[in-house]
Amino acid sequence: MNLLTAQAPIRVPRSGKGLALGIWRFLVVALVLMLSLGFTQLAVAQAEPDREMRTAAPSISADQWRQVRSGETDANFRDSRFDSNYNLINSSGETWRQLRNRWVSPFGLIAIGGMIAVIALFYFIVGRKRLDEPRTGRKLFRWSLLMRSLHWTVATLFITLALTGLNLLFGKFVFRTLFGDAVWAWMISASKVLHNYLGPIFGVLLVVLLISLLKDNIPKKHDWVWFKKGGGLVGKGHVDAGFANGGEKAWYWLLASVGLIVVASGFVLDFPNYGQGRDTMQWANIIHAIGALGLTAVSIGHIYIGTLGTEGSIEGMTTGYVDETWAKEHHNLWYEEVKDQAMSEEEMAAQKTGSNSGGASATKPS
């Protein structure tokens, strides 16, 4: 017999089995007792609704509740969970509620709905901005793979945050009535978790995107002319623009100002464990909502211009390359700097083969 592996069969002693059975019996009886107590309490509470309040706060009179609600501070009615001056009932909470429901929510609906309506009207009246000249078929390198990946990651996060944020603000009026409480409860808790966790990731990546694009977005004199001439979106004329035009720079600086305020206020809301009080949280919520709703409205304009609105723009952000004609018509000053690097499809294919076989032409145009 192998002494190392041989084991005597494990036997549960009779008394052990009895003990386990005893514990189970005890647990079942305790559970039944607890449940019956719970049901009795529920029945009593339904029969006598004030009883619970009298038990929870036996010596508080109606006058005292009125005093607490008035917002006056006094040693007797402070919330002992905080060492600040908060009252047991925070009256400014009602002001926050009014601001949020009466002003911020309607503002969001007007801004986003208004933007969609204006864009739809613009599209049906003026239509798509097509290229004036035919494409040359020669391509200019515009966005690196890294910048495209960064842009699409930030864009996806932004859209997810916008949709979950809108659900937090307006979802109950639509989905709760449509799908009922159970589905709605799942939807709102999923929205909250996504919003809370994706927010900080978006914040960090937005900062990286803004730093990478800073050099091309410094305002120049010709950007003012671009704005004065409406960006050339209407009519035939072209207006001067470098790598980024006036509109793109405006979007950039909006993200660099309002975007960062939204991120900062989001951090205040996401991490209440740093000692910020209720008033700070309330203000952070109002600032966050106004900024985020405004940005969402403007982002719809950006998405329209990048896709349906302007022929050829989306190609740069998907393939990395734009047609020479597009560059000449939309970013003429940039075109003048890089026009020598334009390549035909064949030259691009040859360059790709060269880079795949480790040839000398592996360098990408800058």
Q: For residue 35, with 0-12 CB atoms within 10 Å meaning exposed, 13-18 middle and 19 or more buried, which class applies?
A: exposed
233 vs 314, which CB is nearer to ligand HEM? Answer: 314
Q: Minimum Å distance from CB 293 to ligand HEM?
A: 14
- Nearer to ligand HEM by Cβ, of 96 and 321: the residue is 321
Identify the CA nearest to 151 among candidates 32, 252, 234, 294: 252
| H-run or E-run covering 322 | strand 321-323
Residue 314 beta carbon to ligand HEM: minimum distance, rounded to whole angstroms: 5
Which sign does the torsion angle of CA 16, 19, 23, 28 carry? positive
Q: Are 295 and 126 in contact (CB under 8 A)?
A: no
- Give 118 or 147: the residue with its C-beta nearer to ligand HEM: 147
| Cβ nearer to ligand HEM, comparing 184 with 243 | 243
The answer to whether residues 362 and 354 touch, using CB atoms and an 8 Å cutoff, is yes
Least CB distance to ligand HEM at residue 142 (A): 6
Cβ atoms of residues 288 and 265 within 8 Å: yes
Taking the C-alpha atoms of residue 162 and residue 288, their distance in angstroms, rounded to an integer, is 12
By beta-carbon proximity to ligand HEM, the closer residue of 89 and 308 is 308
Length of the chain: 366
Contact 345, 139 (CB under 8 A): yes
Residue number with CB closer to ligand HEM (133 or 216): 216
Type of residue at 177? T
Nearest distance in Å: CB 158, ligand HEM: 4
Q: Minimum distance between the CB of residue 336 and ligand HEM, rounded to whole angstroms?
A: 16
Q: Name the minimum Å distance from CB 181 to ligand HEM.
A: 32
Minimum CB distance to ligand HEM, residue 307 (Å): 5
Which candidate, 265, 233, 263, places its Cα nearest to that of 248?
A: 233
Cβ-closest position to ligand HEM: 306
Nearer to ligand HEM, 169 or 209 (CB): 209
The amino acid sitting at 104 is V
Nearer to ligand HEM, 29 or 225 (CB): 225
Question: From the CB of 160, what's the least distance to ligand HEM, in Å?
Answer: 10
Binding region for ligand HEM (CB under 6 A): 142, 151, 154-155, 158, 209, 213, 216-217, 244, 248-249, 251-252, 255, 299, 302-303, 306-307, 313-314, 316-317
CB-based contacts of 364, cutoff 8 Å, min separation 6: 141, 144
Q: Which of 266, 220, 285, 268 is nearest to 246 (CA)?
A: 220
